Structure 1
Amino acid sequence: MADLLAEFERDGKWLSSTKTTANNKLDLSTKTGHVKKLHFLTASPTKLKKITSPATNNTVVNLSNKQLSNQQVNALAKGLKFALTPRRTTSDMFITNIEKGLQQLAPGGKVDYLRHQICNILYKAQPQKPNITPSEKQAIKQLRQDPDIVIAPADIGKATVVLDKDHFHTMVDNLLDDTATYKKINTDPTTKLNRQHKSTLKILHNKFELCTDLYRKQSVSHPQPPYARATVKIHKNPVKTRLLVCSRDTVFYNTAQHLTQVLSPLGKSANSFINDSTDFCSKIRDISNPGPIISYDVVDLFTNVPREEALQALRHRIDKLQQPLNTSLSTDSIISLTSTCINSTYFTWGDEIYEQIHGLPMGSPLSPILTEIYMTVLEDKVLDTAPFKPTCGSKS
């Protein structure tokens, strides 16, 4: 028995020693990788001037006529996603969800015993300590009840912006009054679009292009219309707003997500695709005759990508694939579903319903990958006819 214990003790020491050595090697490998990346990034003798924006350096930017107290600033500085601890433990939702898995968690008739244990634990649970001071709590209440201000996130960075409500709505209205980009519609098309989309999915299911499980996942039980919210471009002079559209729980959201997953390999197959900063450094490291760096930026990218040309670019990229996409959908079905998703560009702002006239829909999961595909095809056409070829090109 003593020999067995001694053997266990030796094995335990050996395992501990091996684990420590492995961790040290992992730490050394991580540090070495970081040092190499830093060396690549700082290898150029030309140092760029650091450009900072005083507005985005502030956690709270007050653009309103209201004077904020220190407690209000401290509360807002926690960020718009800061979650307050609940005043009491709400066990109703927990119990409702745990009931769904009780049979799997306690097989063999021990469901009542496990339910009793869970209830006992919840009964004895103590309320969490508050994560804000009473003065900050009062400050949040005052800000919520103030009818003259709007609190919105900054477009770039994590700043919280406070504006006069009239000024905020004027900036948003100026955006929506652009008749070349948006127009008002009188009726909510959600019900009609949902009926048409279910019919399309049923046809694909009958043609065995969608399996039963996937077919059910593409439908949304009670779809909601997309809604817009606004962020504030505090880095612009004068300050402007940007509209962002939330498309979760909408008619085409699940289908757009599925198509995005199917089409994701197309976004990484371009010659100019860059994985990360290390990949970028490896591409520019061996340039023997460096020249000037030229950067182009597309204003309002999503709304300026033509839909029909984006669909043509998508078909072009699919036809050029050496390996087929991981889907049972035909190319025509992919194009048809994608067209349906990106041509649904309506959204609500307050009590009004607007439609985006041109470009890809803001907030759709499909818009980023389609933009990447379209810009890649456009880039190839431009570089093929360019009189001067770049030494190295990339997109970000």
Structure 2
Amino acid sequence: MSWSDDECRPSYAAVALSQLCINTTIVTNTTQHHFTNLDYKNFNLDIEKADRLFNAIKTDNVKKLNKLKSVQAPKEIHTNNWLVNFSKTELPSEIKDTLSLGPNHGLPYKNVNLPIDDILSSVELALITKDGITIDKVRSNISQLIGNRLVKHPPKSHCQITSKVKQTIEFLKQNNHLVVTDADKGNISVVMDKTDVEQKYQDILNDSSTYTLISRDPTIEIQKQVNDMISLWQQKKFIDSNSAKNLKTHKSPPPKIYFLSKIHKNNVPLRPIVCTSNYHIQDTRSFVNKIRNTQTPPEHLLVSLDVKSLFTNISTKLAISLISRNWPNLKSHTNINKKEFLAATKLCLDSCYFAYEDKFYQQIFGVAMGSPISPVVANLIGITNQPGLGDTFILIQFIP
């Protein structure tokens, strides 16, 4: 079958669907031809059920195809919802279009030289705590992937990127007084004046009740304390040798701090995040997906609470006291004794430090935003009936 230029050509999906219908009819007729001398009563009932199911699926797929045909890709980027400019500089439309794509957008690079040295060094660093079989397997896979890449895409001396990205890079170089960062919520890019941002950085770091400047990097000292504690756990049979090997760290880099803009609040305050882990909820949608199959016990409500500067207002001494007081309920979840458990918790809570512009800061009160232990401690304090804490938690939303 062929179509003239004036006729409407059906999509490949529509042709395939039509062919599927034809093939199904052929199979059905052939089956009936070979069984003409049998009792068709039950067999025909099965055929009728299959036909009804097929027709229902076919109808549903045709509706989806028609819906997809009516949808067209947008011809331009709408930047209003994905970029906020708090600076005093007017941004050209091309710059807005590029920045509104966000940090997760994949740039159309072609024939890019692989940073092989960086890849191999990063892989080797990640393999330090792994066993020999895992190391050999990962090295083999990485070598094969790099080799295949180099065969298909030989190294070139240049790369190609879109003109808008080039314009944006050049614009930001010429306007180095601008800072582009992420918003605290909504996956939105934020443009601010560098002087305003740095002043807000210093206001946070100069809070002497929360942070203090320290003279040197404490990473090696803390790493040794943690590794010694893990060795002690292994000696006391709290953990096996494989767990101890995986828990120990070597040549760890110091955690760094970064800031997210709270664009939904007045004066755009910043949220400090200490980059130590990936334990976080990305957005409301990821939270809903995470709890989708969670069953709420009878006579319980799942609520959302908003507490101002929650983590930096948590007393670590109170956290240790609550763990000690609730040990009868906690001990069934671990084979580590109370003394070692409290010592490990105290080490984690007292080791909140970070690097910022070649300087090191120690958090002297509260727990770090970004540390895996912080949400656990916050939940423990939140669910405990403590005097004076009742007015701290504000109910802002119910989730049925």
1:320 Cα deviation from its structure 2 partner = 2.2
Alignment TM-score, normalising by the size of structure 2: 0.63
Q: Which residue of structure 1 aligns with residue 314 of structure 2?
A: 305
Q: Does the CA-based 8 Å contact 1:314-1:370 persist in structure 2?
A: no
**Structure 1 pair 119/343, CA: closer, same or farther in 2 (3 Å)?**
closer
- Whether 1:77 and 2:100 are equivalent positions in the alignment is yes
> Which of structures 1 and 2 has the bigger CA Rg?
2
- Whether 1:361 and 2:384 are equivalent positions in the alignment is no
1:185 Cα deviation from its structure 2 partner = 1.1
1:83 Cα deviation from its structure 2 partner = 2.8
Alignment TM-score, normalising by the size of structure 1: 0.63
Q: Deviation per CA, 1:113-168, whole angstroms, max 9, x where unpaired?
A: x97x99577524599xx997322332234325632111111112211111111110
Q: Does the CA-based 8 Å contact 1:184-1:355 persist in structure 2?
A: yes
Residue type matched to 2:246 in 1? K
- Whether 1:123 and 2:151 are equivalent positions in the alignment is yes
1:359 Cα deviation from its structure 2 partner = 0.9
User: Aligned partners of 2:366, 2:50: CA distance in 1, in Å?
Assistant: 60
Q: Which residue of structure 2 aligns with residue 169 of structure 1?
A: 198
1:217 Cα deviation from its structure 2 partner = 1.2
Query: Structure 1: which 5+ residue stretches go unaligned?
Result: 28-55, 106-113, 261-273, 286-293, 387-392
1:380 Cα deviation from its structure 2 partner = 10
Corresponding residue to 2:137 among 76, 96, 101: 101
User: Aligned partners of 1:194, 1:102: CA distance in 2, in Å?
Assistant: 26
**Structure 1 pair 324/147, CA: closer, same or farther in 2 (3 Å)?**
same
**Structure 1 pair 364/144, CA: closer, same or farther in 2 (3 Å)?**
farther
| Within-5 A mapping of 1:244-255 | 244-248=273-277
* Superposition misfits of 4+ residues, deviation over 6 angstroms: 94-99, 102-105, 379-383, 393-396
- Whether 1:230 and 2:259 are equivalent positions in the alignment is yes
Corresponding residue to 1:241 among 251, 270, 288: 270
Comparing 92-101 with 350-359, greater Cα deviation is found at: 92-101
User: Aligned partners of 1:365, 1:301: CA distance in 2, in Å?
Assistant: 15
Q: Does the CA-based 8 Å contact 1:227-1:347 persist in structure 2?
A: yes
Aligned-residue Cα RMSD (Å) equals 4.9
**Structure 1 pair 343/395, CA: closer, same or farther in 2 (3 Å)?**
farther
User: Aligned partners of 2:179, 2:114: CA distance in 1, in Å?
Assistant: 34
**Structure 1 pair 67/282, CA: closer, same or farther in 2 (3 Å)?**
farther
Q: Which residue of structure 1 aligns with residue 337 of structure 2?
A: 330
Q: Which residue of structure 1 aligns with residue 84 of structure 2?
A: 61
**Counterpart secondary structure, 1:324:** helix
**Counterpart secondary structure, 1:378:** coil
**Counterpart secondary structure, 1:66:** coil
Q: Deviation per CA, 1:213-242, whole angstroms, max 9, x where unpaired?
A: 111111122111111001111111122111
Residue type matched to 1:230 in 2? F
1:276 Cα deviation from its structure 2 partner = 5.6
Residue type matched to 1:246 in 2? C
Query: Structure 2: which 5+ residue stretches go unaligned?
Result: 1-29, 36-45, 61-78, 124-133, 281-289, 392-396
Comparing 301-310 with 134-143, greater Cα deviation is found at: 134-143
| Within-5 A mapping of 1:1-396 | 58-88=81-111, 90=113, 93=116, 100-101=136-137, 119=147, 123-124=151-152, 133-143=162-172, 146-248=175-277, 283=299, 297-320=306-329, 324-325=332-333, 327-378=334-385
Q: Does the CA-based 8 Å contact 1:75-1:140 persist in structure 2?
A: no
